[in-house]
Amino acid sequence: SNPLVLIVGRPNVGKSTLFNRLTKSSTAIVDDVSGVTRDRIYGEVEWNGKYFRVIDTGGYVPDSDDLFETAIREQIEIGLNECDAILFVVDGRIGLTPIDKEIGYILRRSSKPSYLLVNKSDTPEFEINKSDFYKLGFNNIYDVSALNGRNLGNLLDDVINSL
């Protein structure tokens, strides 16, 4: 079957927005129960005639930082074994957070190709706070906007080439 790409990151960084844009889906949210938003988490992506599957790992954990930490750690550990590449999403406007560092630490121990997406970089002016993210130790860093699609083409070119 097609290669599997995992989208990981803490709540509200834009994982679902990215997922929707990559899969061109506007119907991601299928259920919404008292604070627990259950998004559609699985989709197919086509880019330049190549295909991969994408999973939004945050789609079925509570959108609260407390509950999130344990849940996301488990999901990442499980997903890491299955996937072929990882899209690690952070919020370029908020900056680096402790959970980002923790996720980064887990991903760096993995040998799977990882891409750090500094999201919400809708225009170049939002790249100001980027330097902090280099501390995470990723070689592949992309300023992107899941909202308007900025730089996602460059990212997809590189992801496809590594699969």
Tokens of 16: 């679902």
The answer to whether the annotation marks 84 as part of a ligand binding site is: no
- Distance, in Å, from the CA atom of 100 to the CA atom of 13, rounded to the nearest integer, reads 10
146 binds, among ligand GDP, Mg ion, none (CB under 5 to 8 A by kind): ligand GDP
Residue 11 is classified by DSSP as: T
Q: Pick the piece of the chain touching ligand GDP (CB under 6 A) from 75-83, 94-102, 139-147, 151-159.
A: 139-147
How many chain residues interact with ligand GDP (CB under 6 A)?
A: 15
- Which of residues 7 and 107 has its CB atom nearest to Mg ion in the complex? 7
75 binds, among ligand GDP, Mg ion, none (CB under 5 to 8 A by kind): none
C-alpha 148: how far from its chain's center?
16
Residue 39 β-bridge partners: 29
- Distance, in Å, from the CA atom of 40 to the CA atom of 31, rounded to the nearest integer, reads 9
Q: Rounded to the nearest whole angstrom, what is the least distance from the CB of residue 89 to ligand GDP in the complex?
A: 6
Q: Rounded to the nearest whole angstrom, what is the least distance from the CB of residue 67 to Mg ion in the complex?
A: 14
Vertex 94: Cα angle to 92 and 100 (nearest 5) = 80
Does position 65 interact with ligand GDP (CB under 6 A)? The reply is: no
